[in-house]
Amino acid sequence: MDFGFNLSPSSAVELDKVDTSLFRELCRIEPGARTCIGCGSCSATCTASEHSGMSVRKLLLSLQRGKMRDVEKMLTCCMLCGKCTMVCPRGINTRRIILTVCRLYENVEGRI
Ligand code: SF4
Ligand code: SF4
């Protein structure tokens, strides 16, 4: 029977099976990455968000879930304007986090 809609594919992530080494390395260099509360202020302020889906909140979540391709795509959309850093209620230097992730990605070739 056609109901006119389908069930969405599961978005469950088996955390025991994903590679979170990049996120752990990021937290070692930038401990602030662990203090994100996911409030979304950075996403709401982001200049690139509306057209590209860039979001520091989403970037950190994707790193924790091993979604490396999503992270890579977001990195190419950031303009490094720094607006997200100005609004973060936890005082996280989000711009520096993005730059650090970019540097980590330089060494990640072949892992994604
Ligand atoms: S504004 Fe700061 S605390 Fe809020 S989601 Fe973005 S990085 Fe996390
Ligand atoms: S630095 Fe990047 S993520 Fe932050 S507001 Fe600017 S474009 Fe968005």
Asked if 54 contacts 78 with a C-beta cutoff of 8 angstroms, the reply is yes
Q: Is residue 62 part of a domain?
A: yes
In the 3-class helix/strand/coil scheme, how is 30-73 assigned residue by residue? CHHHHHCCCCCHHHHHCCCHHHHCCCHHHHHHHHHCCCHHHHHH
Q: Is residue 111 part of a domain?
A: no
Cα 43 from Cα 58, distance rounded (Å): 8
Q: How far is CA 73 from the centre of its chain?
A: 10
Please give the single-letter amino acid code of residue 42: C
Q: Is residue 112 part of a domain?
A: no
DSSP 18: S
Taking CA atoms only, the protein residue closest to ligand 2 atom 5 is 46
Q: Is residue 96 part of a domain?
A: yes
Q: Is residue 32 part of a domain?
A: yes
pLDDT, tens digit, 9 for 90 and up, residues 71-90: 999 999 999 999 999 999 99
Q: Is residue 89 part of a domain?
A: yes
Domain encompassing residue 57: 21-45+52-106
Model confidence at 109, pLDDT cuts 50, 70, 90, reads low
Q: How far is CA 95 from the centre of its chain?
A: 12
* Residue that has been written with the tokens 């711009």 in this structure: 95
Q: Is residue 60 part of a domain?
A: yes
Q: Is residue 68 part of a domain?
A: yes
Say how many domains are in the chain: 1
pLDDT, tens digit, 9 for 90 and up, residues 38-80: 999 999 999 899 888 899 999 999 999 989 889 999 999 999 9
| Residues flanking ligand 2, CB < 6 Å | 45-48, 54, 56, 78-84, 94-95, 98
Ligand 1 near 74 CB (within 6 A): no
- Closest Cα to residue 81, out of 49, 39, 37, 104? 49
* Ligand 2 centroid from CA 32, angstroms: 17
Q: Which of 36, 61, 78, 93 to mutate to test the pocket of ligand 1 (most atoms within 8 A of CB)?
A: 36
Ligand 1 near 101 CB (within 6 A): no
